[in-house]
Amino acid sequence: MATTNVSSVRSSISSSKQNSHYPLKTPVLVKPFLNLKPANPSSSSSLCQSPSITNQTKKSFNLSCKNQKPTSDFTIAANQDDDFDDKLREECGVAGIYGDPEASRLCYLALHALQHRGQEGAGIVTVDKGEFRLKPGVGLVSEVFNESELNKLPGDVAIGHVRYSTAGASMLKNVQPFVAACKFGQVSVAHNGNFVNYSSLRAKLEETGAIFNSSSDTEVVLHLIAHSKASNILLSIIDACEQVKGAYSLVFVTKDKLVAVRDPHGFRPLVMGRRSNGSYVFASETCALDLIEATYEREVHPGEVIVVDKDGCQSLYLALRFERRACIFEHIYFSQPNSIVFGRSVYQSRREFGEILATEAPVDCDVVIAVPDSGVVAALGYAAKAGVPFEQGLIRSHYVGRTFIEPTQKIRDFGVKLKLAPVRGVIEGKRVVVVDDSIVRGTTSSKIVRLLKEAGATEVHMRIASPPMVASCYYGVDTPNAEELISKRLSIEATRKYIGCDSLAFLPFDSLKKLLKEDSSGFCYACFTGNYPVPPERKEVKV
């Protein structure tokens, strides 16, 4: 792979036409999400609704004008059910395929492997002979796509996205990838992360006449591409990425290129792999590569721009270079245990977190259990180090959505009971250590402790496989306002009393950094310290 600095190629890179290598059926064409023009104070960019490939009917939509307050998906409304919101949520996952005749199917499978990163929306864009096809939908990957829909997505290039939206923002128009038309032709993008300067960029763009069709910060990138004075689409993408600040792992597709970009701090993960037929694969995690039998090659480096086209693969770098600040919560909670993230095994990290807890916060107990699924590996590490049996003391239901019907007569802790069921034979008469990945508001933890004691546990000791969370994240994670974080408001002892457990211990921050050794300086710990590598423009009230 060739590696080049952007400055040395700005004047030499040009967009080139590429025909499909594979004879595929005639596609159903899709209208672009945006029809953008270069910046002109006297004219406005015109928009059209992002359509489903099976429904080309235009729908009404709200336009955001410059006198309206810009909003981001990262600003959320209160949800009525704390039991399902008292966990952090990763905003999304991305995938990209180049050079495979079954690109849409491989992208579908990759998104299925990344489903844990977002469950409320999914979309795929393919390019065949320079023409774009789009299929977005609300719901799980398996609900959005079927054989018939995938047959309508021919082409050997595809990008895809799974999305977790915050409450009130789960709308089809916010489902990615987005497709836009600009002076260089059509371009599509899928984004994992959050732009901390989104509000000011959007306001500035609206002053020039830009009209936004969604509440997603990702749309800013498309407008920046359209407004760029660069000489071709690739340099316009690079120009746009150098203007946004914060966390982003992006995959773009043009009529003849696939472009993968990671922010200069490397907050969010993005990896590259190859299949046996030579096709290129990009994904948020290596578990997606495993499913489609792609060999993991390496991470996309912080600040790197990888361009894949008919001439091969080229590596460029953004002009901005910063110290690496990878999100530590990818190892604590977000990523699948079978993934390699930031060059480290997620499974091994979580097991070692549990071992540290057993060493530094031991307690006499009879059994170790986990809050499934994210606490399981840390609980295994705790049990092994402590020499105490690990058992499945809580069984998680995999069939609970965010909407359910509660009986007329109120049942205490109904939401938690619907999702988690204690195993009385494991718990009754026992001193129980229960391991979880984190505590956010504390509402769910208190209900879990009550469930375990009602099931007969004589003692319940909580062990948390992360340090106390005292600050919100602005880099693509759905966290509450800082004042709602229980560790921000209360001491560990006060938190213990609120939760109702017999003892409470968190993973010590210094021990976490010691475990990471020489890699420790390359992680972002803002949620534990309040020290932000890229300060947000304004700490918006999120709930």
* DSSP secondary structure letters along 8-35: GTTTT--------SS--PPPPP---SEE
| pLDDT at site 391 | 97
**Site of tokens 């969010």:** 268
Is 71 a residue whose pLDDT tops 70? Answer: no
> Do you know the residue count of the chain?
543
Q: What pLDDT band is residue 171 in, cutting at 50, 70 and 90?
A: confident
Taking the CB of residue 254, how many other CB atoms lie within 10 A of it? 25
| pLDDT at site 417 | 83
C-beta separation of 537 from 204 below 8 A: no
pLDDT in tens, 135-151: 999 999 999 999 999 99
The answer to the question of whether 501 is labelled as a binding residue is no
pLDDT in tens, 266-318: 999 999 999 999 999 999 999 999 999 999 999 999 999 999 999 999 999 99
- Measure the CA–CA gap between 246 and 457, rounded to whole angstroms: 45
The answer to the question of whether 287 is labelled as a binding residue is no
DSSP for 477-495, written as a single string: EE---GGG-HHHHS-HHHH
Q: Which of 326, 357, 298 is nearest to 515 (CA)?
A: 357
Q: Which of 326, 400, 215, 236 is nearest to 334 (CA)?
A: 326
The answer to the question of whether 527 is labelled as a binding residue is yes
| pTM for the full predicted model | 0.83
| pLDDT at site 453 | 97
142 or 75, higher pLDDT? 142
- Measure the CA–CA gap between 141 and 418, rounded to whole angstroms: 24
| pLDDT at site 231 | 94
Is 419 a residue whose pLDDT tops 70? Answer: yes
pLDDT in tens, 324-351: 999 999 999 999 999 999 999 999 999 9
Establish whether 92 is a catalytic residue.
yes
**Mean of per-residue pLDDT scores for the chain:** 84
Taking the CB of residue 407, how many other CB atoms lie within 10 A of it? 7
Burial (Cβ within 10 Å: 0-12, 13-18, ≥19) of residue 424: middle
The answer to the question of whether 182 is labelled as a binding residue is no
The residue from 48, 92, 182, 241 that is catalytic is: 92
The answer to the question of whether 524 is labelled as a binding residue is yes
